[in-house]
Amino acid sequence: MGVVGPNGGGKSTLVRLLNGLLKPDAGAARVYGRNPATEPFEVRRKVGMLFQNPDNGLVAPFVEDDVAFGLENLGVPREEMRVRVAQAMRAVGLSGYERREPHTLSGGEKQRVALAGILVLEPEVLILDEPTSMLDAAGRREVLEKVRYLRGEKTILHATHHLEELADADRVLVLNDGEVTADVTPDRLFANAGLLRENRLSLPPVLRLAADLGLPLHRTPEDLATEILAEIGDGAGVP
């Protein structure tokens, strides 16, 4: 499930409620039937959470300790821990960074470390609050592939300002001023100009080009180019 909406709409508040960092003033949050506010440890065993600012989550002296932090809390044996940490570091492309101090990393490197710290836990639910905000195009693609690979197997809540990242989501929740203003499929959201505008959203460039040209909403530049070729092929012919 994707979560989108304006700055200050309530995305991060929602995810903090689900992991017990915040308590609802009224109403209830439940994760597998448990109350995250009163049973945070049980809930966090199942829910891996990536915070919006990768700087805040990194606390250990060395990168490898940071990635291992959650496993230590779960009481995983040392040997297994070493193997899993090494795997997670590899998965995010940071092998060799084990003994680096987190505060000396670049923005994208920090975000990758934070992600490794979640993946290593193999949680049943992944809550990702803007997981790609500091990543380059390749890093972004890798994270999205990971999400795609895990979907179906895991429940994923993915907050983002980049709508293209949610093209494969089952649902998208729109949060604006603390209220759910829509709960729709990505295709419906992309096609609804009014809904987008009211929630300070806009289509990413490829989709916007396609929409403005009156063509089907292709997601990749290559697909859009193919569509355009097909269109002009019907006309005077391609020279």
Partner 1 sequence: MRLELRDVWHVYAPGNGFELPALRGVSLTVEDGEVLGVVGGTGSGKSTLVQHMNLLLAPTSGAVFVDGVDAGTLRKSELRRRVGLVFQFPEQGLFAPTVEEDVSYAPRQLGLAGDEVRGRVRGALESLDAAHLARRAPYTLSGGEKRRVAIAGVLAMSPEVLVLDEPTAGLDPVSRERLLELVTGLRSAGTSVVLVSHDLDEVAEVADRVCVLEEGRVRSIGDPAEVFYADPEVAPATVRVVAALGNICPGLGRPVRFGTTLQALRGLLEARG
Ligand X SMILES: Nc1ncnc2c1ncn2[C@@H]1O[C@H](COP(=O)(O)OP(=O)(O)OP(=O)(O)O)[C@@H](O)[C@H]1O
Task: Please pick, from the candidates 147, 163, 174, 189, the single residue that binds partner 1 as defined by CB under 8 A.
Answer: 163
**197 is written with which tokens?**
């505008």
109 forms part of the interface with partner 1 (CB under 8 A): yes
Task: Please pick, from the candidates 43, 71, 105, 206, the single residue that binds ligand X as defined by CB under 6 A.
Answer: 105
Q: Which is nearer to partner 1, 24 or 221 (CB)?
A: 221
Residue 137 touches which member of partner 1, Mg ion, ligand X, none, C-beta under 5-8 Å by kind: partner 1
Tell me the CA distances in angstroms from 239 to 162, 227, 230, one per residue in order. 37, 17, 13
Burial of 95 (0-12, 13-18, 19+ CB in 10 A): exposed
- The answer to whether 223 and 208 are in contact (CB under 8 A) is no
Task: Please pick, from the candidates 46, 82, 100, 154, the single residue that binds partner 1 as defined by CB under 8 A.
Answer: 100
- The answer to whether 213 and 42 are in contact (CB under 8 A) is no
Concatenate the DSSP letters of all residues of 138-201 into one string: HHHHHHHHHHHHHBTTBEEEEE-S-GGGGTT-S-EEEEETTEEEEEE-HHHHHH-HHHHHHTT-
What's the CA dihedral at 202, 203, 208, 211 to 10 degrees? -100
Instruction: Choose the binding region for ligand X from 10-18, 59-67, 82-90, 228-236 (rule: CB under 6 A).
Output: 10-18
Q: In the window 216-235, what residues touch partner 1 (CB under 8 A)?
A: 221-222, 224-226, 228-229, 231-232, 234-235
- State the Cα–Cα distance between residues 125 and 14, nearest whole angstrom: 15
106 forms part of the interface with ligand X (CB under 6 A): yes
DSSP H helical ranges for the chain: 11-18, 40-46, 54-57, 63-74, 78-91, 107-119, 137-150, 186-191, 193-198, 205-212, 221-233
Residue 155 touches which member of ligand X, Mg ion, partner 1, none, C-beta under 5-8 Å by kind: none
Phi/psi-derived region of residue 10, left when phi > 0, alpha when psi is between -120 and 50, beta in every other case = left
Least CB distance to partner 1 at residue 204 (A): 7
Q: In the window 165-194, what residues touch partner 1 (CB under 8 A)?
A: none
Site size for ligand X (CB under 6 A)? 16
Task: Please pick, from the candidates 61, 107, 178, 216, the single residue that binds partner 1 as defined by CB under 8 A.
Answer: 107
52 forms part of the interface with Mg ion (CB under 5 A): yes
Contact positions vs ligand X (CB under 6 A): 5, 7-13, 52, 104-109, 134
Q: Where along the sequence are the contacts to partner 1 (CB under 8 A)?
A: 5-9, 12, 52-53, 55, 99-100, 104, 106-109, 112, 130, 133-140, 161, 163, 200-202, 204-206, 208-209, 212-213, 221-222, 224-226, 228-229, 231-232, 234-236, 238-239
Q: Which residues bind Mg ion (CB under 5 A)?
A: 11-12, 52, 106-107
